[in-house]
Chain A
Amino acid sequence: MIEKNKFKIFDAHMHTIGIFLPRNMSLIEYMDQFNIEKAILTTTNRAARPSDYVDKGEKEEEYGDTNNKMLKAFENYKKTMPKGQLDHQDVINLSKKHPDRFYKFFWFNPNMSQDQENDDYRTLENHFDNGFYGVKLHPILHLIKVPRDVLKLASLLEERNKILFLHSYPKVTFFNGMFTKDIVKLAKSFPDLKIIVGHAGYAMEYAMELGMNLKRYENIYFETSCSIPYALFSLIKAVGHERILFGSDSPITNPAQIEIDKILCLPISKEQKQDIFYYNSEKIIQK
Protein backbone atom coordinates (compact mmCIF):
# COMPACT_ATOMS: atom_id res chain seq x y z
CA MET A 1 0.00 0.00 0.00
CA ILE A 2 1.41 3.34 -1.04
CA GLU A 3 1.56 5.94 1.72
CA LYS A 4 -0.57 8.87 0.60
CA ASN A 5 1.29 12.04 -0.21
CA LYS A 6 0.00 14.99 1.84
CA PHE A 7 0.13 17.59 -0.92
CA LYS A 8 -2.78 17.90 -3.30
CA ILE A 9 -1.65 17.49 -6.85
CA PHE A 10 -2.51 18.84 -10.28
CA ASP A 11 -0.47 16.72 -12.69
CA ALA A 12 0.47 18.73 -15.77
CA HIS A 13 1.47 15.69 -17.82
CA MET A 14 -0.54 12.47 -17.85
CA HIS A 15 -1.41 9.90 -20.49
CA THR A 16 -4.46 7.68 -20.75
CA ILE A 17 -2.57 4.38 -20.56
CA GLY A 18 0.92 3.05 -19.98
CA ILE A 19 2.93 0.18 -18.60
CA PHE A 20 2.88 1.58 -15.07
CA LEU A 21 -0.92 1.49 -14.84
CA PRO A 22 -1.81 -1.87 -13.28
CA ARG A 23 -4.15 -3.88 -15.53
CA ASN A 24 -6.94 -4.08 -13.00
CA MET A 25 -6.84 -0.38 -12.11
CA SER A 26 -8.55 2.63 -13.70
CA LEU A 27 -6.64 5.86 -14.26
CA ILE A 28 -8.80 7.57 -11.64
CA GLU A 29 -7.95 4.90 -9.06
CA TYR A 30 -4.31 5.28 -10.02
CA MET A 31 -4.49 9.04 -9.50
CA ASP A 32 -6.29 8.68 -6.16
CA GLN A 33 -3.42 6.58 -4.82
CA PHE A 34 -1.11 9.56 -5.20
CA ASN A 35 -3.50 12.36 -4.28
CA ILE A 36 -3.60 13.58 -7.87
CA GLU A 37 -6.83 15.53 -7.94
CA LYS A 38 -6.55 16.93 -11.45
CA ALA A 39 -4.50 16.32 -14.55
CA ILE A 40 -3.70 17.57 -18.00
CA LEU A 41 -4.46 14.48 -20.04
CA THR A 42 -3.47 13.41 -23.50
CA THR A 43 -3.52 10.19 -25.46
CA THR A 44 -0.74 7.66 -26.04
CA ASN A 45 1.22 6.80 -29.17
CA ARG A 46 0.53 3.09 -29.32
CA ALA A 47 2.90 2.56 -32.27
CA ALA A 48 6.09 3.31 -30.31
CA ARG A 49 7.94 0.15 -29.24
CA PRO A 50 11.59 0.50 -28.22
CA SER A 51 12.37 -3.08 -29.30
CA ASP A 52 11.91 -1.98 -32.92
CA TYR A 53 15.26 -0.20 -32.78
CA VAL A 54 17.34 -3.18 -31.77
CA ASP A 55 20.17 -4.23 -34.06
CA LYS A 56 18.72 -7.55 -35.25
CA GLY A 57 20.94 -9.96 -37.05
CA GLU A 58 23.33 -7.64 -38.88
CA LYS A 59 26.62 -9.28 -39.68
CA GLU A 60 29.78 -8.46 -37.76
CA GLU A 61 31.32 -6.55 -40.65
CA GLU A 62 28.41 -4.10 -40.62
CA TYR A 63 29.56 -2.71 -37.26
CA GLY A 64 32.05 -0.48 -39.02
CA ASP A 65 29.48 1.21 -41.20
CA THR A 66 28.02 3.93 -39.02
CA ASN A 67 26.06 5.55 -41.83
CA ASN A 68 24.38 2.27 -42.61
CA LYS A 69 23.41 1.88 -38.96
CA MET A 70 22.04 5.40 -38.91
CA LEU A 71 19.88 4.75 -41.94
CA LYS A 72 18.50 1.58 -40.41
CA ALA A 73 17.87 3.33 -37.11
CA PHE A 74 16.00 6.07 -38.92
CA GLU A 75 13.97 3.60 -40.99
CA ASN A 76 12.93 1.81 -37.81
CA TYR A 77 12.20 5.07 -36.10
CA LYS A 78 9.84 6.12 -38.87
CA LYS A 79 7.69 3.08 -38.10
CA THR A 80 6.81 4.65 -34.77
CA MET A 81 5.48 7.83 -36.34
CA PRO A 82 1.81 7.38 -37.03
CA LYS A 83 0.64 9.14 -40.15
CA GLY A 84 -1.98 11.77 -39.57
CA GLN A 85 -3.39 12.59 -36.16
CA LEU A 86 -3.74 10.29 -33.18
CA ASP A 87 -7.23 9.34 -32.10
CA HIS A 88 -8.26 11.07 -28.87
CA GLN A 89 -11.46 9.18 -28.08
CA ASP A 90 -9.82 7.70 -24.96
CA VAL A 91 -9.17 11.23 -23.65
CA ILE A 92 -12.71 12.33 -24.45
CA ASN A 93 -14.29 9.29 -22.78
CA LEU A 94 -12.29 9.68 -19.57
CA SER A 95 -12.98 13.41 -19.37
CA LYS A 96 -16.68 12.93 -19.96
CA LYS A 97 -16.80 10.55 -17.02
CA HIS A 98 -14.76 12.84 -14.74
CA PRO A 99 -15.14 16.37 -16.10
CA ASP A 100 -13.83 18.07 -12.96
CA ARG A 101 -10.58 16.10 -12.97
CA PHE A 102 -9.20 16.22 -16.49
CA TYR A 103 -8.04 19.00 -18.80
CA LYS A 104 -7.81 17.61 -22.33
CA PHE A 105 -4.79 18.26 -24.55
CA PHE A 106 -4.57 17.24 -28.21
CA TRP A 107 -1.36 15.50 -29.30
CA PHE A 108 -0.92 17.20 -32.67
CA ASN A 109 1.31 16.30 -35.61
CA PRO A 110 2.06 19.43 -37.68
CA ASN A 111 4.13 17.41 -40.17
CA MET A 112 1.38 16.78 -42.71
CA SER A 113 0.98 17.09 -46.48
CA GLN A 114 -0.58 20.23 -47.90
CA ASP A 115 -3.65 18.22 -48.96
CA GLN A 116 -4.11 17.07 -45.41
CA GLU A 117 -3.49 20.40 -43.71
CA ASN A 118 -7.00 21.82 -43.82
CA ASP A 119 -8.55 18.60 -42.57
CA ASP A 120 -6.07 18.24 -39.72
CA TYR A 121 -6.51 21.81 -38.54
CA ARG A 122 -10.28 21.42 -38.78
CA THR A 123 -10.00 18.32 -36.57
CA LEU A 124 -7.96 20.30 -34.08
CA GLU A 125 -10.42 23.20 -34.03
CA ASN A 126 -13.30 20.76 -33.51
CA HIS A 127 -11.52 19.40 -30.48
CA PHE A 128 -11.02 22.94 -29.16
CA ASP A 129 -14.74 23.54 -29.66
CA ASN A 130 -15.29 20.45 -27.54
CA GLY A 131 -13.31 21.63 -24.59
CA PHE A 132 -9.66 20.81 -25.31
CA TYR A 133 -7.37 23.24 -23.48
CA GLY A 134 -4.21 22.91 -25.49
CA VAL A 135 -1.86 20.98 -27.74
CA LYS A 136 1.00 18.66 -26.98
CA LEU A 137 3.85 18.64 -29.49
CA HIS A 138 6.48 15.92 -29.72
CA PRO A 139 9.02 17.48 -32.13
CA ILE A 140 11.29 14.44 -32.40
CA LEU A 141 8.52 11.94 -32.99
CA HIS A 142 7.11 14.01 -35.83
CA LEU A 143 10.50 15.34 -36.98
CA ILE A 144 9.50 18.99 -36.76
CA LYS A 145 11.73 22.00 -36.28
CA VAL A 146 10.73 24.59 -33.72
CA PRO A 147 9.74 27.32 -34.48
CA ARG A 148 9.86 26.85 -38.28
CA ASP A 149 7.24 24.09 -38.52
CA VAL A 150 4.86 25.32 -35.84
CA LEU A 151 4.16 28.93 -36.80
CA LYS A 152 0.62 28.29 -38.06
CA LEU A 153 -0.16 26.18 -35.02
CA ALA A 154 1.29 28.72 -32.56
CA SER A 155 -0.70 31.50 -34.18
CA LEU A 156 -3.93 29.51 -33.86
CA LEU A 157 -3.23 28.64 -30.23
CA GLU A 158 -2.44 32.22 -29.34
CA GLU A 159 -5.60 33.45 -31.05
CA ARG A 160 -7.77 30.91 -29.24
CA ASN A 161 -6.01 31.29 -25.88
CA LYS A 162 -4.89 27.66 -25.83
CA ILE A 163 -1.73 26.26 -24.27
CA LEU A 164 1.21 24.72 -26.13
CA PHE A 165 3.05 21.85 -24.43
CA LEU A 166 6.50 21.29 -25.94
CA HIS A 167 8.26 17.99 -25.32
CA SER A 168 12.03 18.41 -24.72
CA TYR A 169 14.59 15.91 -26.01
CA PRO A 170 18.32 15.76 -26.77
CA LYS A 171 20.03 15.71 -30.12
CA VAL A 172 20.10 12.12 -31.36
CA THR A 173 21.83 10.37 -34.24
CA PHE A 174 19.27 11.20 -36.88
CA PHE A 175 17.68 14.43 -35.63
CA ASN A 176 18.88 17.63 -34.01
CA GLY A 177 17.47 18.56 -30.66
CA MET A 178 15.22 21.44 -29.78
CA PHE A 179 17.51 24.06 -28.34
CA THR A 180 16.59 26.68 -25.77
CA LYS A 181 17.26 29.34 -28.40
CA ASP A 182 14.49 27.81 -30.53
CA ILE A 183 12.04 28.19 -27.67
CA VAL A 184 13.19 31.80 -27.20
CA LYS A 185 12.34 32.54 -30.85
CA LEU A 186 8.89 31.02 -30.42
CA ALA A 187 8.22 32.88 -27.16
CA LYS A 188 9.33 36.17 -28.71
CA SER A 189 7.13 35.74 -31.79
CA PHE A 190 4.07 34.77 -29.76
CA PRO A 191 4.20 36.74 -26.50
CA ASP A 192 0.62 35.87 -25.55
CA LEU A 193 0.99 32.15 -26.18
CA LYS A 194 1.30 30.13 -22.98
CA ILE A 195 4.05 27.56 -23.48
CA ILE A 196 4.81 24.66 -21.15
CA VAL A 197 8.28 23.20 -21.67
CA GLY A 198 7.98 19.51 -20.78
CA HIS A 199 10.74 17.49 -19.09
CA ALA A 200 12.41 20.81 -18.34
CA GLY A 201 15.14 19.36 -16.11
CA TYR A 202 15.96 16.20 -18.06
CA ALA A 203 19.64 17.24 -18.12
CA MET A 204 21.49 19.67 -15.87
CA GLU A 205 22.88 21.71 -18.72
CA TYR A 206 19.48 22.00 -20.40
CA ALA A 207 17.82 23.24 -17.20
CA MET A 208 20.56 25.79 -16.63
CA GLU A 209 20.15 27.08 -20.16
CA LEU A 210 16.37 27.24 -19.86
CA GLY A 211 16.74 29.32 -16.74
CA MET A 212 19.28 31.61 -18.32
CA ASN A 213 17.57 32.08 -21.68
CA LEU A 214 13.90 31.99 -20.75
CA LYS A 215 13.58 33.66 -17.36
CA ARG A 216 12.49 36.94 -18.97
CA TYR A 217 9.62 35.34 -20.95
CA GLU A 218 6.75 35.17 -18.54
CA ASN A 219 4.60 33.19 -20.96
CA ILE A 220 6.90 30.18 -20.48
CA TYR A 221 6.31 27.51 -17.83
CA PHE A 222 8.40 24.49 -16.96
CA GLU A 223 7.07 20.96 -16.37
CA THR A 224 9.00 18.61 -14.13
CA SER A 225 8.55 15.03 -15.37
CA CYS A 226 11.65 12.89 -16.09
CA SER A 227 13.82 15.58 -14.52
CA ILE A 228 16.84 15.53 -12.25
CA PRO A 229 16.03 16.98 -8.81
CA TYR A 230 19.10 19.21 -8.81
CA ALA A 231 18.18 20.49 -12.27
CA LEU A 232 14.74 21.43 -10.95
CA PHE A 233 16.33 23.20 -8.02
CA SER A 234 18.52 25.08 -10.48
CA LEU A 235 15.47 26.14 -12.53
CA ILE A 236 13.61 27.28 -9.43
CA LYS A 237 16.61 29.41 -8.47
CA ALA A 238 16.71 30.96 -11.93
CA VAL A 239 13.04 31.58 -12.78
CA GLY A 240 11.28 31.35 -9.41
CA HIS A 241 9.02 28.53 -8.24
CA GLU A 242 5.79 30.08 -9.60
CA ARG A 243 6.53 28.97 -13.14
CA ILE A 244 7.33 25.35 -12.29
CA LEU A 245 4.52 22.83 -12.86
CA PHE A 246 4.57 19.34 -11.44
CA GLY A 247 4.14 16.66 -14.10
CA SER A 248 4.63 12.89 -13.99
CA ASP A 249 4.39 11.61 -17.60
CA SER A 250 2.72 8.65 -15.95
CA PRO A 251 1.70 5.96 -16.44
CA ILE A 252 3.87 5.73 -19.55
CA THR A 253 7.47 6.42 -18.63
CA ASN A 254 7.27 6.72 -14.85
CA PRO A 255 5.22 5.66 -11.90
CA ALA A 256 3.82 8.91 -10.45
CA GLN A 257 5.38 8.27 -7.03
CA ILE A 258 8.93 8.73 -8.29
CA GLU A 259 8.10 12.08 -9.82
CA ILE A 260 6.37 13.20 -6.61
CA ASP A 261 9.42 12.17 -4.56
CA LYS A 262 11.64 14.35 -6.75
CA ILE A 263 9.71 17.44 -5.62
CA LEU A 264 9.43 16.29 -2.02
CA CYS A 265 13.22 15.98 -1.71
CA LEU A 266 13.95 19.54 -2.86
CA PRO A 267 15.34 22.00 -0.30
CA ILE A 268 12.43 24.48 -0.72
CA SER A 269 9.52 25.48 1.53
CA LYS A 270 6.27 23.52 1.93
CA GLU A 271 4.35 26.42 0.42
CA GLN A 272 6.56 26.43 -2.64
CA LYS A 273 6.10 22.67 -3.00
CA GLN A 274 2.33 23.02 -2.81
CA ASP A 275 2.41 25.72 -5.50
CA ILE A 276 4.49 23.50 -7.76
CA PHE A 277 2.30 20.46 -7.07
CA TYR A 278 -1.01 22.22 -7.66
CA TYR A 279 -1.59 25.96 -7.73
CA ASN A 280 0.78 26.90 -10.55
CA SER A 281 -0.99 24.54 -12.96
CA GLU A 282 -4.39 25.65 -11.77
CA LYS A 283 -3.45 29.27 -12.47
CA ILE A 284 -2.22 28.66 -16.00
CA ILE A 285 -5.35 26.66 -16.86
CA GLN A 286 -7.63 29.38 -15.49
CA LYS A 287 -5.79 32.30 -17.18
Chain B
Amino acid sequence: MDKWEPKSRKEKFRQRALIVFALALMVWSALAIDVQWSTMGGLSALGDVIGSFFPPDLGYVPSLLQPAWETFEMAIVGTLAAVVMAVPVALISAKNITPSKTIAYPIGRAIIVVSRSIHEIIWALIFVAALGLGPFPGTLALGFRSIGFLGKLLAEEIEGIDEGQIEAMKACGANQAQIILFAVLPQIKPRIIGLTIYRWDINFRMSTVLGIVGAGGIGYEIQSAMQRFRYSQASSVILVILVMVAIGEIVSARLREQVT
Protein backbone atom coordinates (compact mmCIF):
# COMPACT_ATOMS: atom_id res chain seq x y z
CA MET B 1 0.00 0.00 0.00
CA ASP B 2 1.22 3.45 -0.84
CA LYS B 3 1.94 5.69 2.04
CA TRP B 4 2.73 9.34 2.16
CA GLU B 5 4.12 11.20 5.14
CA PRO B 6 4.73 14.91 5.27
CA LYS B 7 8.21 14.33 6.62
CA SER B 8 10.59 11.47 6.09
CA ARG B 9 12.00 9.64 9.10
CA LYS B 10 15.39 11.09 8.43
CA GLU B 11 14.00 14.59 8.48
CA LYS B 12 12.14 13.93 11.73
CA PHE B 13 15.35 12.71 13.30
CA ARG B 14 17.21 15.78 12.12
CA GLN B 15 14.53 18.02 13.60
CA ARG B 16 14.68 16.32 16.99
CA ALA B 17 18.46 16.44 17.01
CA LEU B 18 18.25 20.16 16.40
CA ILE B 19 15.93 20.66 19.38
CA VAL B 20 18.24 18.65 21.66
CA PHE B 21 21.18 20.68 20.41
CA ALA B 22 19.37 23.97 21.12
CA LEU B 23 18.54 22.84 24.67
CA ALA B 24 22.13 21.78 25.27
CA LEU B 25 23.31 25.16 24.04
CA MET B 26 21.00 26.91 26.51
CA VAL B 27 22.26 24.90 29.46
CA TRP B 28 25.86 25.43 28.46
CA SER B 29 25.33 29.18 28.08
CA ALA B 30 23.65 29.42 31.49
CA LEU B 31 26.66 27.70 33.05
CA ALA B 32 29.06 29.92 31.13
CA ILE B 33 27.60 33.19 32.35
CA ASP B 34 27.96 31.90 35.90
CA VAL B 35 24.51 32.68 37.24
CA GLN B 36 24.89 33.34 40.96
CA TRP B 37 21.91 31.64 42.49
CA SER B 38 23.03 32.59 45.99
CA THR B 39 22.47 36.30 45.36
CA MET B 40 18.98 35.66 44.01
CA GLY B 41 17.80 35.93 47.60
CA GLY B 42 18.59 39.63 47.34
CA LEU B 43 15.78 39.94 44.85
CA SER B 44 13.48 40.93 47.66
CA ALA B 45 15.49 44.17 47.84
CA LEU B 46 14.44 44.80 44.25
CA GLY B 47 10.90 45.17 45.52
CA ASP B 48 12.04 47.87 47.91
CA VAL B 49 13.86 49.77 45.17
CA ILE B 50 10.89 49.58 42.84
CA GLY B 51 8.64 50.65 45.70
CA SER B 52 10.72 53.76 46.27
CA PHE B 53 10.02 54.82 42.64
CA PHE B 54 6.37 55.31 43.58
CA PRO B 55 4.67 57.61 43.53
CA PRO B 56 6.41 59.58 40.77
CA ASP B 57 7.21 63.16 41.71
CA LEU B 58 4.91 64.84 39.20
CA GLY B 59 5.95 68.30 40.36
CA TYR B 60 9.27 67.51 38.71
CA VAL B 61 7.72 67.06 35.25
CA PRO B 62 7.64 70.73 34.12
CA SER B 63 11.41 71.02 34.53
CA LEU B 64 11.76 67.98 32.21
CA LEU B 65 9.98 69.54 29.25
CA GLN B 66 13.03 71.43 28.04
CA PRO B 67 15.35 68.35 28.04
CA ALA B 68 12.52 66.34 26.45
CA TRP B 69 12.28 68.85 23.63
CA GLU B 70 16.05 68.79 23.26
CA THR B 71 15.89 65.02 22.84
CA PHE B 72 13.33 65.45 20.10
CA GLU B 73 15.52 67.98 18.30
CA MET B 74 18.61 65.80 18.58
CA ALA B 75 16.74 62.98 16.85
CA ILE B 76 15.54 65.22 14.03
CA VAL B 77 18.85 66.95 13.33
CA GLY B 78 20.88 63.75 13.69
CA THR B 79 18.59 61.82 11.36
CA LEU B 80 18.35 64.51 8.68
CA ALA B 81 22.12 65.07 8.67
CA ALA B 82 22.58 61.32 8.34
CA VAL B 83 20.22 61.11 5.34
CA VAL B 84 22.10 63.87 3.53
CA MET B 85 25.35 61.97 4.05
CA ALA B 86 23.89 58.49 3.48
CA VAL B 87 22.55 59.14 -0.03
CA PRO B 88 26.00 59.71 -1.58
CA VAL B 89 27.38 56.80 0.45
CA ALA B 90 24.59 54.60 -0.95
CA LEU B 91 25.27 55.82 -4.49
CA ILE B 92 28.90 54.69 -4.36
CA SER B 93 28.06 51.50 -2.45
CA ALA B 94 25.52 50.14 -4.94
CA LYS B 95 27.18 47.66 -7.30
CA ASN B 96 25.14 48.67 -10.33
CA ILE B 97 25.87 52.39 -10.36
CA THR B 98 29.07 52.89 -8.35
CA PRO B 99 31.52 55.06 -10.29
CA SER B 100 34.33 52.61 -9.55
CA LYS B 101 34.19 49.05 -8.25
CA THR B 102 37.83 49.16 -7.14
CA ILE B 103 37.95 52.52 -5.34
CA ALA B 104 34.56 54.10 -4.58
CA TYR B 105 32.72 50.87 -3.80
CA PRO B 106 35.11 49.65 -1.05
CA ILE B 107 35.23 53.15 0.46
CA GLY B 108 31.44 53.28 0.62
CA ARG B 109 31.21 49.81 2.14
CA ALA B 110 33.91 50.68 4.68
CA ILE B 111 31.98 53.78 5.79
CA ILE B 112 28.88 51.63 6.23
CA VAL B 113 30.69 48.96 8.25
CA VAL B 114 32.48 51.42 10.55
CA SER B 115 29.33 53.44 11.13
CA ARG B 116 27.20 50.40 11.88
CA SER B 117 29.64 48.46 14.03
CA ILE B 118 30.12 51.27 16.57
CA HIS B 119 27.15 51.71 18.88
CA GLU B 120 25.57 55.12 19.49
CA ILE B 121 26.73 55.08 23.11
CA ILE B 122 30.32 54.53 22.01
CA TRP B 123 30.05 57.24 19.35
CA ALA B 124 28.64 59.50 22.06
CA LEU B 125 31.53 58.72 24.42
CA ILE B 126 33.98 59.56 21.63
CA PHE B 127 32.28 62.87 20.78
CA VAL B 128 31.79 63.86 24.41
CA ALA B 129 35.50 63.26 24.97
CA ALA B 130 36.32 65.36 21.92
CA LEU B 131 33.72 68.13 22.18
CA GLY B 132 32.58 68.17 25.78
CA LEU B 133 29.11 67.63 27.26
CA GLY B 134 25.87 68.69 25.60
CA PRO B 135 23.39 67.82 22.88
CA PHE B 136 25.79 68.43 19.97
CA PRO B 137 27.99 65.36 20.57
CA GLY B 138 24.81 63.35 21.11
CA THR B 139 23.41 64.52 17.79
CA LEU B 140 26.66 63.60 16.05
CA ALA B 141 26.53 60.17 17.67
CA LEU B 142 23.01 59.55 16.32
CA GLY B 143 24.03 60.81 12.89
CA PHE B 144 27.19 58.73 12.63
CA ARG B 145 25.41 55.50 13.48
CA SER B 146 22.51 56.29 11.15
CA ILE B 147 24.71 56.87 8.07
CA GLY B 148 25.63 53.19 7.98
CA PHE B 149 22.08 52.00 8.54
CA LEU B 150 20.59 54.29 5.89
CA GLY B 151 23.52 53.86 3.50
CA LYS B 152 23.31 50.06 3.58
CA LEU B 153 19.57 49.84 3.08
CA LEU B 154 19.51 52.53 0.38
CA ALA B 155 22.38 50.84 -1.48
CA GLU B 156 20.38 47.60 -1.47
CA GLU B 157 17.38 49.52 -2.79
CA ILE B 158 19.47 51.04 -5.59
CA GLU B 159 20.77 47.59 -6.53
CA GLY B 160 17.17 46.52 -7.05
CA ILE B 161 15.97 49.41 -9.23
CA ASP B 162 14.78 49.08 -12.81
CA GLU B 163 17.93 49.36 -14.95
CA GLY B 164 15.84 50.12 -18.01
CA GLN B 165 15.26 53.66 -16.79
CA ILE B 166 19.01 54.15 -16.42
CA GLU B 167 19.53 52.76 -19.90
CA ALA B 168 16.97 55.18 -21.31
CA MET B 169 18.68 58.18 -19.73
CA LYS B 170 22.07 56.97 -21.01
CA ALA B 171 20.63 56.64 -24.49
CA CYS B 172 19.40 60.27 -24.35
CA GLY B 173 22.95 61.48 -23.75
CA ALA B 174 22.50 62.23 -20.05
CA ASN B 175 25.67 62.43 -17.93
CA GLN B 176 26.21 60.39 -14.75
CA ALA B 177 24.80 63.10 -12.45
CA GLN B 178 21.72 63.48 -14.64
CA ILE B 179 21.20 59.72 -14.68
CA ILE B 180 21.23 59.77 -10.86
CA LEU B 181 18.84 62.73 -10.75
CA PHE B 182 16.36 61.38 -13.30
CA ALA B 183 16.60 57.61 -13.18
CA VAL B 184 17.93 56.64 -9.74
CA LEU B 185 16.61 59.13 -7.16
CA PRO B 186 12.97 59.08 -8.33
CA GLN B 187 13.00 55.30 -7.96
CA ILE B 188 14.36 55.30 -4.40
CA LYS B 189 12.56 58.41 -3.13
CA PRO B 190 9.73 56.60 -1.30
CA ARG B 191 12.29 54.35 0.37
CA ILE B 192 14.40 57.36 1.44
CA ILE B 193 11.37 58.92 3.09
CA GLY B 194 10.22 55.68 4.70
CA LEU B 195 13.65 54.83 6.09
CA THR B 196 14.17 58.37 7.36
CA ILE B 197 10.99 58.20 9.41
CA TYR B 198 11.86 54.73 10.67
CA ARG B 199 15.37 55.81 11.63
CA TRP B 200 14.06 58.96 13.30
CA ASP B 201 11.86 56.72 15.43
CA ILE B 202 14.89 54.63 16.45
CA ASN B 203 17.03 57.72 17.07
CA PHE B 204 14.35 59.33 19.18
CA ARG B 205 14.28 56.34 21.51
CA MET B 206 18.07 56.10 21.47
CA SER B 207 18.51 59.78 22.30
CA THR B 208 16.68 59.26 25.60
CA VAL B 209 19.66 57.27 26.91
CA LEU B 210 22.49 59.28 25.35
CA GLY B 211 22.25 61.77 28.22
CA ILE B 212 23.51 59.08 30.57
CA VAL B 213 26.96 59.50 29.02
CA GLY B 214 26.58 63.28 29.03
CA ALA B 215 25.52 63.69 25.43
CA GLY B 216 22.46 65.85 26.03
CA GLY B 217 18.76 65.16 26.19
CA ILE B 218 16.52 63.75 28.87
CA GLY B 219 18.80 60.82 29.69
CA TYR B 220 20.98 63.12 31.76
CA GLU B 221 18.06 63.80 34.09
CA ILE B 222 17.53 60.15 34.89
CA GLN B 223 21.24 59.75 35.55
CA SER B 224 21.42 62.67 37.97
CA ALA B 225 18.20 61.70 39.78
CA MET B 226 19.46 58.15 40.31
CA GLN B 227 22.81 59.36 41.56
CA ARG B 228 21.09 61.54 44.12
CA PHE B 229 18.80 58.61 45.08
CA ARG B 230 15.78 60.69 44.06
CA TYR B 231 13.91 57.66 42.80
CA SER B 232 10.56 59.42 42.63
CA GLN B 233 12.11 62.00 40.34
CA ALA B 234 13.70 59.25 38.25
CA SER B 235 10.30 57.62 37.84
CA SER B 236 8.79 60.85 36.55
CA VAL B 237 11.62 61.01 33.99
CA ILE B 238 10.76 57.46 32.93
CA LEU B 239 7.12 58.50 32.71
CA VAL B 240 7.99 61.44 30.45
CA ILE B 241 10.14 59.18 28.23
CA LEU B 242 7.27 56.72 28.00
CA VAL B 243 4.90 59.44 26.84
CA MET B 244 7.50 60.85 24.41
CA VAL B 245 8.16 57.46 22.82
CA ALA B 246 4.44 56.82 22.51
CA ILE B 247 3.99 60.16 20.75
CA GLY B 248 6.98 59.41 18.51
CA GLU B 249 5.47 56.05 17.64
CA ILE B 250 2.16 57.65 16.68
CA VAL B 251 3.80 60.43 14.66
CA SER B 252 6.04 58.07 12.69
CA ALA B 253 3.18 55.67 12.01
CA ARG B 254 1.07 58.55 10.68
CA LEU B 255 3.91 59.84 8.50
CA ARG B 256 4.60 56.40 7.08
CA GLU B 257 0.96 56.03 6.15
CA GLN B 258 1.24 59.24 4.17
CA VAL B 259 4.16 57.90 2.15
CA THR B 260 2.68 54.60 1.01
- A and B together in one complex: no
List the interface of chain A (C-beta within 8 A of B).
none
